[in-house]
Structure formats: C-alpha cells, structure tokens
Structure 1
Amino acid sequence: MNIDRMAVQNSIFYWMQRTVKEKGCIATTGQVAIGSTRGIVRQDNQDRAAVVTFYPSDKLSETVNVAVLCDGIGGLQDGANAAALAISAFVSQLVGLSDDNLKGQLSFAANKANGEVFAKYKGRGGCTLSAVSITKAGPVEIVNYGDSRVYLQNGNGLVQLSTDDTLDGQLAKMDRHVGVSLPEFKHLVQFIGMEGEIDTSSIDINKIKDGDQILIVSDGVYGVEFQFMEKILLNSNSAESSIKKLLLLSEWVGGVDNATAIILPAFSFIDEYESIPHGMFEITTWSSGCFFSIVEMNKQHFVSTPNVYVAADLHNPADKMKMSQKAKRKRITKNKQKLSGPEEQTKSKGEVSQLKIEFNDGEVD
C-alpha cells in the first residue's frame, strides 16, 4: 500500500499543537483512558500522548495498537513542539507496516523521531518517548527513551518495566548502588533529539495476561510515592477513575510538573477494531481531552477541488486563534492538506490519498 506518511505526520503534528486546558483533560474509550494536567507550578503543558489503532498493510496481519507518551524537556527549547514532532514522526512510521517484527519497527520509528527532532532543534530541544505496542497474538513490545516510565499492573501489584535513561536508572539496572544520590544522577543520558542513533534496546513482556493493565506515565505522575500509585490502580474500578486519581494526586503533592498518564488493558479492547476493511488503513488516536480519527483509502480519485490549509505561524497570535477555532470543529474533512507540520506536503494531481479527520471534544475535570 502506498501511504502518504507525511500527510499522516502533518495531521498528527497539527492535532498535537492544540492547548491542553488548564485544569487537565481526560479522554476514554472502552477500557482505555488517557489524561494530562499542566500542574500548579508550570505555565504550560509540554507533555504529549496518544493511543493509536491502525490496521497494517499486510492482509494477514492483525490490528496494531500503540500507546505513546512524550515529555518535552523543560530546560531545552520548545519542549511541547519537540514532543508533538516526536509523536507525529513516530506514529507515521508505523502505519501501514506489518505486525511482523514490531520490536524492530518500534525502534526504527523511534530513531526516525529522534532524527527529525534533532534536525529541527540541533540538540537544543528534545523529549522523552515511551511506547507500547499490543496485538492480539502478542507479545507486547516496549521502547523507552528518557525518564518517562512504563508499568505493568496485574494481580501481584505494580511493576516498573522500563529503565530510566539516567545515571541512577542505569546503575540500578546493573544492580550497582553508590550510596549517594546527587542531582546530576537524575540528568538524562539519552532522549529523543540527540545527535546520531539512539540505543534501540527494547523490552519484551512474554507473561502478560488478559486482564492485566499497562500504565505509561510522565515523571509528574510517578514523582509521588510508589505505594500510592499502586494502591490507586489496585482499588479503582475503571481506567478513567485511575487516571483522575493519579492526576489529582500529582497536584495534591504540589503539582510541580506536568502530569500525563495512559492506561490500557492488555488485549481485551482489541476486538473492537477487527472489522476494518482490507485495502485501507484507519488510525484512531486518543489524546487528552478528545480524539481524532484519520482514515486513508489508497488511490482515490477526486473530482472536486481539494481544500487547502495555509501554513500557520505558531508564534503569531492571530494564527493561534485560528488554529484554536479549527480545533473546536466537530468534523473536518480534508482532501488535501498543507499544514504547519514537520514538512509541507506536496502531491501531484490525479491519484491521491484521502484523509478524513474527525474531532470530538472530551471531558474536562
């Protein structure tokens, strides 16, 4: 299938540019929940996260579900935009691929995101990236760069699966302890936006069972005591309830950082997406507060003149207002786009891919 990845990337990047409301937003669908809050101290929210479902190009493959979270590095330039760029580049590299060797594809997509963020910011901007892919056949695959975290919650409690890319995290991984904790030990040794290739090591989960849950969080969530996080997850009756409590807890203890969390069940929600027709792909993306859906049908011929979006300047207040107004529309159908994304897309007349994007407002707490 010939997929216009740049169109997909631009669409997701544009969507990720919206402003998350101050009090925080939560979006849910079935047993999946995703939420984010700015916190009390920070002036903006530099966390970005999404849950993406798409049908691969291989007719024999299964629906692939990917949850990804990026936390913009506050001390560097444009953390929020770096996180949006990383997610859009990461997801656009995965759509249309086979579910075979997802581990390698996740690592490839992460390196693609790393390259694009570095190309834009030259090391002056970056973010973390934590991603989990789930298919019905398994196994669950994880990649993690930076200090956002991935946990597994099952009948035995809450277990951290990822390793922080900090000196503290690497020493703990090697079971070495120096007996002292210095601020420098918390500095990132790897993140998205570095020059060259990033370490492509990933994590397999072979013993995950239906009924288990995956939790992905930024450091604004896990900055609280581990036992409180665990008790919230074990004693909440829904993913949405867990997310609300985790975000509230992060504010109750000071709200010094942005806090974002994703909860998704291991396998049970996948059945909802088994009816997508072959010969097309669908991406349904949930993000804090709302979701959008991209449907691309390969090689569709258009008779009408395509709608064109003029590239917006994110630093221009007038353009910001226009983008905010567009984001409030319930449905936007686009035959052709020209967006303020990572790169302006161009297409020749004739056979082009159709992008259909749906916006739906979510609940605000």
Structure 2
Amino acid sequence: MEQIRTSLTAWLLRKTAGAAVRRVGESSIAITTDVGVVRQENQDRVAVLKGMDPNGRRYFVIALCDGMGGMADGAICGATALAGFMTAFVEIRGSALALNEQLRYAAVEANRIVFELYRSRGGATLSAVLLCEPGKLHWVNVGDSRIYRKTHNELEQLTIDDTLEGQLPHGGSLAGRNQLLQFIGVGPDLEAHTGSLEYRDTDQMLLSSDGLHSVYKDFITEILANSPEPAIGIKRLVDVARWRGGHDNASGAVFCPFEATKLLELGDGAENILEFWDPHGELQMVSVGQVKIVHKPGSDGGRKETYIAESDLSLSKPLAAKQPRTRKQRDPGNPKKEKNVKVQKASKQTDTPKQKESGAKVEDAEKPQLIIEFQNNEKK
C-alpha cells in the first residue's frame, strides 16, 4: 500500500489551475476547490473514492483535507493526509470492523503517516463521509473542517470543531479560541470523531473547509436551497467566499446521499477498480488480489487490535494501450491498401442555460488520466 499511497499523493500534488468544479461521474456528487484572492498556494485537497470491498459491496468515500497554512508544507500535508486516509480505508475495508471503526482506523493511520514525516510541525484537517448502505451514512472528522446536513431549508452542523471555540462555545476570552487542539499529524495519539446518520431522500450533505464555511450559515442554506443541482450550489458558495474577500482557500463537496447510494445499488463500476476524482481530474487504479487483515491480541491480553500484516498489492508499470491491427495483420493472404482512419476529436460540451445564467463553469468527469495496475504477489 505504500506505493499506492505515494502515487496518489503525487497525483494530488500535480500542477493544476487555481480553481475548479467537477461532477463525479454519473453521480450527484460535486466537488470544488478555489485558491481564493489573497493566498498564492492552495493547501486544500478534496477527493472522492469509489470502490468495492471483498464482499462485492460498492462504496463512495468523500473526503476533504485542509493543510495548515501557519505550519510547514501545508499543501504537502493536505495531500499526504488525504492519500493516507484513502489508502488506509481501502486497506481495512475487507475487515469485520464496524464501519465507524474503519473510518477511525483510516484517520489514525493518516495521522501516523503525517506525524512521522513532520513531527507535529505540519498537519491538516480531515472531514470524510462513507456511503455504502441505503438510508444511512457514516462520517469521521478531525480539526475545523466541517460536515453539514441540509434538510428542507435548515442546515445542521454534524461535527464539532477541534478548537476552544468549538469545544467551549460560551466560555473564556476570545484569545486563541480558534487555534486547533488537534489535527492530522498532531502527535502519536489522535481522537478522531466519528458518527452515523440516517438520512432522508431529499437531504443534502456539505463538506467544507473553513474558507468556505466562513460564509454565513443563512447564506449557505439559501444558496443550496435555490440551486438546481449540487455542482451549481457548490460553485455559488465559492463565488460568495471570493466576494467576501477570498482570504483563505475554499473547498467543499455537495451531494445527495440517497441519489449517490442508489447509483451504487445499480451496480455501476467494475470489480477491483478503484476510482478517484478531485476537482481537476480522474484517476483509476486496477487492483488484483486482496489485503490480508490480521487480528492480534492486545497488549493487555484482552481486546484484539487490528493491523495489516501483509499486502498482496504491488505497483507495476501503467497498462499499455492496445494498438489496432491492420487489415494485412488480420488477413495476411489478402493484403489490401490501408485506408487512413480519421479520428474525430470529442467536441466540447456547452454550458446549460442554467450554468450560463449562474456563470458556473462545471467540468464533467472525463476519461481517466492514468491507469495503474497492481499485480497479485501472493505466495502460493
């Protein structure tokens, strides 16, 4: 898994535009990021993972990390935390742990990776939602990025910020109350907050970095309630954040869990394919083989601790594209003059009237930028 995580981290750190909005495949999930007006570097990372566990159950993970600007290498920490979280979740997905515990494990593993690199000198927040069963979702949160649920015209904050203001909203002075008490990379110990939620068919979810939810709560509610689709809604939220000064990177995800889970139930997607989206593009990985989950007795001799003993996945060269055979190769006995084949370029999609009206430039999911195959190295 180390090579998988390294490749995903590098992909998240590739050179990209300062702002982008993307619909995730055929789903209702929309993700965005914007560097803002003041800062030169975007230290936010937001991505979606789609995969299948060893039991054939498909899932979505929507996750956001906000690198800490006042510390070392905020962008690298954000990408490392997000890649570490995603790969750790894939690693543990086949275990018998409860879903909340799988998310907690992935958050703790991401914390370990960032801490070993920066020793508390750098870090990132983490907000993530897991969709894998009808009517219910699961989430994990560390730091001051947030997860909201919108029901009709009300916006409910599910998470509590890991700040003094979040933990003690009505006590003490204002000095230092917005400083983070914990984050991914804070130290060897981490208390990741997890929860579950039974949602309604019309509910929407919002993941946001602090640069996005600095917009007034009432504005967020009105914008989402009056947007025709999630991609338009999240783009409008970023626009408002810029209009208010754009002092911080603004990133987020908006989706209807009912519609996204319904897509999973339709069986869209292939076995052993991991699909990743960020606001700038798409990445596919082909995995062959499964990860071994080993249960080891705890140090106290009591409850078991779960850890990864061995992975059957290793990194190989990207898959080579097949070249079409010529007529002569197909039928050597009847050679004929080859015809030049013209390949028509895909035409650009035009914006819908609603997109033109709002000024939103929304990118649909395009063909994968990279395909990586993981061979099965299991000893027989």
Structure 2: gaps of 5 or more residues: 291-315, 319-365
TM superposition shift of 1:250: 0.7
TM superposition shift of 1:332: 3.4
Aligned-partner SS, 1:244? helix
Which 4+ stretches in 1 moved above 6 angstroms? none
Do the aligned residues in 2 keep the contact of 1:82 with 1:127 (CA within 8 Å)? yes
Percent identical among aligned pairs is 33
TM superposition shift of 1:285: 1.5
| Cα distance, 1:54–1:307 mapped onto 2, change above 3 Å | closer
Pick from 11, 28, 44: which aligns with 2:7?
11
Pick from 229, 239, 259: which aligns with 2:230?
239
Equivalence for 1:114: 111
Answer yes or no: is 1:198 the counterpart of 2:190.
yes
CA distance in 2, matches of 1:118, 1:52: 24
1:1-365 paired onto structure 2 within 5 Å: 5-22=1-18, 24-29=19-24, 30-59=27-56, 62-95=57-90, 97-98=93-94, 101-172=98-169, 177-178=170-171, 180-182=173-175, 184-206=176-198, 208-274=199-265, 275=267, 280-298=271-289, 307=317, 331-335=369-373, 351-352=376-377
**Which string of whole-angstrom CA distances, capped at 9 and with x for unpartnered residues, describes residues 100-140 of structure 1?**
61100100110000000000001111000011111223531
| Cα distance, 1:20–1:282 mapped onto 2, change above 3 Å | same
Aligned-partner SS, 1:87? helix
| Cα distance, 1:250–1:156 mapped onto 2, change above 3 Å | closer
CA distance in 1, matches of 2:76, 2:172: 38
Aligned-partner SS, 1:95? helix
Do the aligned residues in 2 keep the contact of 1:165 with 1:189 (CA within 8 Å)? yes
Do the aligned residues in 1 keep the contact of 2:153 with 2:222 (CA within 8 Å)? no
State which drifts further: 94-103 or 70-79: 94-103
Aligned-partner SS, 2:212? helix
TM-score (norm 2): 0.74
Q: CA RMSD in A?
A: 2.4
The structure, 1 or 2, with the larger RCO (C-alpha pairs under 8 Å, 6+ apart) is: 1
| Cα distance, 1:265–1:276 mapped onto 2, change above 3 Å | closer
Do the aligned residues in 2 keep the contact of 1:72 with 1:79 (CA within 8 Å)? yes
Structure number with bigger Rg:
2
| Cα distance, 1:307–1:100 mapped onto 2, change above 3 Å | closer
Aligned-partner SS, 2:6? helix
Do the aligned residues in 2 keep the contact of 1:211 with 1:268 (CA within 8 Å)? no
Residue 17 of structure 2 aligns to which amino acid in structure 1?
K
Do the aligned residues in 1 keep the contact of 2:282 with 2:368 (CA within 8 Å)? no
CA distance in 2, matches of 1:245, 1:137: 29
CA distance in 1, matches of 2:173, 2:189: 31
TM superposition shift of 1:267: 2.4
State which drifts further: 125-134 or 94-103: 94-103
Structure 1: gaps of 5 or more residues: 300-305, 309-327, 337-349, 354-365
| Cα distance, 1:330–1:265 mapped onto 2, change above 3 Å | closer
Residue 370 of structure 2 aligns to which amino acid in structure 1?
I
Residue 242 of structure 2 aligns to which amino acid in structure 1?
E
CA distance in 1, matches of 2:79, 2:369: 21
Do the aligned residues in 1 keep the contact of 2:134 with 2:262 (CA within 8 Å)? no
TM superposition shift of 1:65: 1.2
Do the aligned residues in 2 keep the contact of 1:136 with 1:267 (CA within 8 Å)? no
